[in-house]
Structure 1
Amino acid sequence: MMCDCNSKYMTNAIPYIGKGTVPEGLGAGEYFITKLVETVKIRNRDITMDNWFTSLPLLKKLRTEYELKAIGTLKNNKKELPTEFRDVKYRKRSTKSSFSFFQPNITAVSCKPKPDKLVTLVSTLHCDSSIITNTGKPEMTHKH
């Protein structure tokens, strides 16, 4: 479902009716996001998504082919992430610590705001991985 953040109205939706909904060879997240954004592509919009949809290849595709900027959480086991983001030994790091990496037009931050919570964010909206010291959360989590 795609919703406008100001009006809170749904602007587009595609029902997921189980296996067979997505064409073979295409990930479900990429399929649904690219279908949903067809109506707003090349309009300098910002897309926010959760970790079920987010991937680095999708963010690159949205940026280059659709001229859309995006931010989203990312599952920590994604193979496109550096070892520090995926390896179990790095998950035991100290609270309020973070790792970041940069690629052209993409910033990723792995932060540990609480002892039992590890969050990875990726963004084509931000080029800074600043962490707010009193919360341990990336600055990119706040309104932009």
Structure 2
Amino acid sequence: MKNTFFYGLLIMLSMTLMSSTCSSDDDGGNQNDNSQEIAQIESTVQTGTWQITSYVDSGQDETTDFNGFDFTFASDGTLTATDGTTTYIGTWSVTSSNSNDDNDIDFNISFPVPDTNDFEDLNDDWDIVSNTNTSINLIDISGGNGGTDTLVFQMN
């Protein structure tokens, strides 16, 4: 009797393990895989130089803070902003977001500047609203004050 119980338990355990290793995903792909879109965005921004054509901070237009600056997104993740006199060097990347939205892609910008510098306002993990070969529209909804910032880069 003990052997029958033991073998029955062993068979049930084996069936449970086998069924748990099977996937119900018939397409074989990862629904959260947006690597092709990320690669396309990276390739686009690495082409040429870009300008900020709109920066709105919680409803206040602050685009003029970046007038005259050309932005270059290098393949090594370096982000350079220069107006011919002043140059800022930071980093950039495009990544899958940590949010629950499966298709959310972040455009990450970081300049090592003091909080009082206008370029500090660009430091964020921006959500991509839309992008083309000549523009990229970004948004950030602040967790602290609930304000919404928008940022638009246009290719020169």
Please state which band the TM-score falls in when normalised by the shorter chain. Answer: under 0.3
Q: Which has the higher strand share?
A: 2
Q: Which one has more relative contact order, counting CA pairs under 8 Å at least 6 apart?
A: 2
Larger Rg: 2
Q: What is the TM-score of this pair, normalised by structure 1?
A: 0.23
